[in-house]
Chain A
Amino acid sequence: MSGTGASVVPARPAPHVRGAVSAPELIWSAALCLLPASAWGILVFGTPAAFVLLASIGSALVCEALTALLRREFTLLDGSAFLTGLMVGCLLPPGAPIHVAAVASGFAIVVVKQTFGGLGRNWMNPALAGVVFARLSWSEAFAVPVSTRWSGPGLAPLDALAAALPGPGSGGRGALETLAAAGYPVSAADGRVVGWLNARLAPLGVALPPGAFDLLAGIRPGGIGEIAVLLLIAGGVFLAARRVIRWQLPAVHLATFALLAWVFGGLGAGRGFFAGDAVFHLLAGSLLLVSFFMATDPVTSPLTPAGTIAYGIGLGAATFLLRFYGSMPDGAPLAVILMNCTVPLIDRYAKPVRLAAPRGGAR
C-alpha cells in the first residue's frame, strides 16, 4: 500500500530535533554546583558532616527508589533525589544525629514530593520543608554548639545573636560587634587578617569587627553547606551563566532583602533607619544557599521572567520580615516556603504579551 506520505499518522511527532539541554542535565548541574560548598563543609566540620550528608543523600535515594517503584518507574537517574538529599544535608548542622538527617530527607522526598505526584508536582520546596520539619521536631539538634577546624565551639551566628540579645541587631552596635562582645569564637586566621586590614584602614577611620573574615571565608558554625559563601556565590553565578536558573531571582531576592535590611534592620535594635547590618545578614545564615539553590527550583518558582521578579521581591520582603521579626532566627527557609504558596497566583497573572491574531488555514 503506497500513499503519498501525508496519509500516515506519525509515530514520532515533530520536532525531530531537540535542544541540547535535558532536564536531568539541569538537575545534575545544580547538584554539581552545590558540591564545592558541601565539600568545604566537610573540610571545616570533619567526619560528622560527611556522615550527615551521606545519611541525607542515602535516605533520599532509597525513599525515591521505593516510592517510584510504587509507580513502576525508576527515577534516580534524573538527579532530583540526589539533589534534594544534598540540599537537606547542606542545611543541617554537622552535629545533627543521623536519624534526623535521614528522616528530614525522607520527609522531603516522600511527603513533600512523591505524595503530590513526584517530580514537577510538588508545590513546596522539598528540601526546605524537610529541614523545617527537622528543626521543629528536633530543635535541640540545632542548638548544639559546634566547633570548626579552626575555631572553637559556638552556635550559628544568627542563633548566637538571638541568644545574646532580646532582639535582632544590637543595642547600638553592629551584629559582629555584639557577637564579639558575647565571646563568639573566631579563628586565628581571622584575628591576623582583620588585624592587618584594620591597621591599613585605620587612617580612613574604618574598623572591621572581629569575625568579618571568618564570615566571608566560611569558618563558622552553621549548616554544612551554608557557610562557604564564596563557593555558593560562585556556584550560583555559574548556574545563572549556564542558564540553569534564572538570574533575576537571586538577584532581586538578595537586592530586596539587602535594601530592606539596610533601611529597616536597625530599627529593632534602636539604631534608626538606614543603619541595618545588611552585609552580615546576607552572609550569615542560609540566605545565600537558599536563594541560589532552593528558591530557584523551577518547579516551585514562577514560569515567566516577569513573574520571577515579582516572586523575588516577595521573597526579599518575606525573608526580611521572618528573619527580623519571626521566631526562628534564620527566616530564609520559611520565607521560601511561604512564597511557594503564592506561585500559582503569580503565574496566573504574569503572562507574556501575545502576538498576532488567530491563524487561519490548515496544512
Chain B
Amino acid sequence: MTQAKSFPRGGVYPPDTSALSRLEPLTNAAVPPRAIISMRQHAGPPAECIVRPGDGVREGMMIGRAQGPRSAHVHSSIPGRVVEIMEETVAGGERCQAVAIEMGGEFDRSGRAGEEREWQALSRFALLGKIQSAGVVDLGGTFQPAHLALASPPGGAVGVLIANGVESDPSLSCMSALLREKAREIVTGLRIARKLLAPSRVVLVVGEADGHLVPGFERAVDEAGEEIEITVVSSKYPQGDAEQLAATLLGGRRAGQGTRRSVSATVGHAEDRHVVVLAVGTLLAVHEAVALDKPLIERVVTVSGSIVRHPRNLKARIGTRIEELFDECGGLSAPAGAIVLGGLMMGRAVDSPNASLTKTVSGVIALSAKEARVPRERPCIGCGRCIDACPWGLVPTRLYKLAAHGRCDAALAEGLAACSECGCCAFACPSRIPLADGLGRMKGACGAAGKIAEATA
C-alpha cells in the first residue's frame, strides 16, 4: 500500500499519542465497588429508571427501560444494592437520573466467557430483539441504539456495510485493542449484521497505524468463511467519522445531494444505495448480545495521558468511577490539570475524577497542568486555516462570527447544520479561537429553537 486513501478535503494531523496505550495488551479492569449508572448513555430519550433505593440488582439486570423506540435499555454492570437515585444534568441541559449501586452478592458470569449460543437459526426479528434487549448502542460514532442501525433502511437495500476500525481520535487506541484481541468476535458480529442487513459489500476499515493487524484479522475472516474486504486508510483526523469514512471509500459528494442521514451514513450514489457504518466495538457488543445473551455492561476504554503511569486499554464495567480507572493504570504521576472523557479533539473536560464510565465514553485522558492550560485567545487574523482544515467545506470563521451575533438563520444557510464539531478548525486556528465550541453552541441554540430538524428526537 503506497498512499493510503483519505477523505477528499480538509482534516488535520493532531499529535498521535495513541502509542502510549496501543502497545499494551487489553486488560480487564477490576470490578468497581460502587457503580454510578446514568439513564442516558445514548442518543435519544433517556431510559426510565425502574429500580428504587434499596432494591437488590443482579449483574446484567435491566435497571432502566427504554422510553420509546429511539431509546435504549440500561443494565446494571455489577450485582448489589441500589443505594441512591441521583438527578443529574447531562450535556444539553436535560435532566436525567443516575443509579448508584453498591456491590454485593454473586457474579453470574465473572471470568467465564460463557457458551456461545446458536444464532444462525434465529429470525431477523428475533436477532434485533436480542440486540435491543441487551441495550446495545453504536459505540464508535453516533451512540444511537444499535437495533435502529441494524434494521433494514426503508426504501432500498444496503449497499455497503462498513465496519469502522479506525480510531475516532489520535489519542485513543481502543479500536486497535479490539482488532488485535477480539477479531473472532468482531467477525461474528459482522456475520450477524450481514444477516440483518443483507448488504452487497462488507468492508472492514482500519487506520494506517493498525495495518500490521490486517493479517491476523484476515485469518479470523478466513476461519469464519466470510467474504469481508479489508481496507487500510490514512490516519488523517477525522477519518473515524462515519461520513468521512464513507466519502473515503465511496467518493465524496456535494452538499444537497442524497438523502438526509438517519442513523447511518447515507451517501448518494448512482444507485442511491444506503451505507451503514458500525464501529467494531458495536460489533463486539452485538456478538455478545446475540451469542452470549450478555447485555452491554462493559466496554473497552483507552486510559491515557502523559501523567498516567501505565496507560493502556481497559475492558471496564459501565459505571466505574474515572478515578478507579486511573488507579488500574498505576495512578497519576502528577496532579491532573484536566480530565477529558473521549478523545482530545472532541472530548468533554470534567472537573472532578468522581465522574464515571458510560457507554458513550471511548477514552479517558489525563492532561498535566501544563497541557491543560488554555492558550490566550487572539483576534481572528483571517488566515483561512480553519477553512482549509474543515472536512465539510464550511467557513468556520464566518460561522463563528454569525454565532457570536446569534444569527441562526444566516448560519444555517451557510451550512452550520453540517458541522460535526470535529474540532479541526479550532485545532488549526493560530489565534486559538474556540471555533468548534462556538459552532456547537450555536447548533444547540438553533436546535433548541427548532430550526434544525433532528433525525432523532
Contact = CB atoms under 8 A, between A and B. Distances in A.
Given A6-B341, A355-B418, A18 B395 contact: no
Interface in B330-374: 338, 340-342, 344-352, 354-358, 360-361, 365, 367, 371-372, 374
A357 B426 contact: no
B379 A120 contact: yes
Contacts of B432: 18, 22-23
Majority SS of interface residues in chain A?
loop
Interface stretch (B86-94, B104-112, B210-218, B287-295): B86-94
B391 A355 contact: yes
A14 to B, nearest CB: 5
B426 A361 contact: no
Interface stretch (B113-121, B176-184, B251-259): B251-259
Nearest to B70: A361
Contacts of A24: 378
Nearest to B454: A360
A16 B344 contact: yes
Contact of B430 (A4, A11, A25, A304): A25
Contact of A2 (B321, B367, B393, B436): B321
Interface string B94-106: 0000101000000
B9 interface: yes
Contacts of A298: 381-384
Interface stretch (B19-27, B55-63, B260-268, B273-281): B260-268
A50 to B, nearest CB: 30
Contact of B387 (A8, A25, A303, A357): A303
A299 interface: yes
B392 interface: yes
Contacts of B262: 360
B457 to A, nearest CB: 9
B95 to A, nearest CB: 9
Interface residues of B, number: 105
Given A3-B98, A358-B452, A361-B142, A15 B436 contact: yes
B372 A16 contact: yes
A6 B456 contact: no
Interface string A345-363: 0000001111111111111
A355 B88 contact: no
B142 A354 contact: no
Contacts of B380: 120
Interface residues of A, number: 53
Contact of B418 (A12, A13, A359, A361): A359
A22 B418 contact: no
A353 B456 contact: no
B410 to A, nearest CB: 12
A159 interface: no
A7 B361 CA distance: 13
A26 B395 contact: no
A301 interface: yes
Contacts of B122: none
A354 B360 contact: no
B263 A361 contact: yes
B434 interface: yes
Given A3-B98, A5-B348, A120-B381, A362 B431 contact: no
B340 to A, nearest CB: 5
A4 B39 CA distance: 10
A49 B203 CA distance: 68
B261 A360 contact: yes
Nearest to A80: B381
B171 interface: yes
Contacts of B427: 15, 17-19
A118 interface: yes
B298 to A, nearest CB: 15
B247 interface: yes
A68 to B, nearest CB: 12
A202 interface: no
Contacts of B430: 19, 21-23, 25-26
A7 B322 CA distance: 14
A18 B429 CA distance: 8
Contacts of A25: 430
Contact of A359 (B261, B344, B365): B261
Interface in A266-322: 298-305
Contacts of B263: 360-361
Contacts of A207: none
A362 B382 contact: no
B345 A17 contact: yes
A359 B247 CA distance: 14
B347 A359 contact: no
Shortest Cβ-Cβ A-B pairs, 10 listed:
A360-B455, A5-B355, A13-B437, A120-B379, A358-B417, A354-B255, A15-B423, A2-B354, A4-B38, A354-B393
Interface of A: 1-19, 21-26, 78, 117-121, 246, 298-305, 351-363
21 contacts: A2-B356, A3-B98, A6-B91, A6-B360, A14-B421, A14-B426, A15-B344, A23-B383, A23-B430, A23-B431, A78-B378, A301-B382, A304-B387, A353-B393, A354-B256, A354-B418, A355-B391, A355-B418, A356-B252, A360-B260, A361-B43
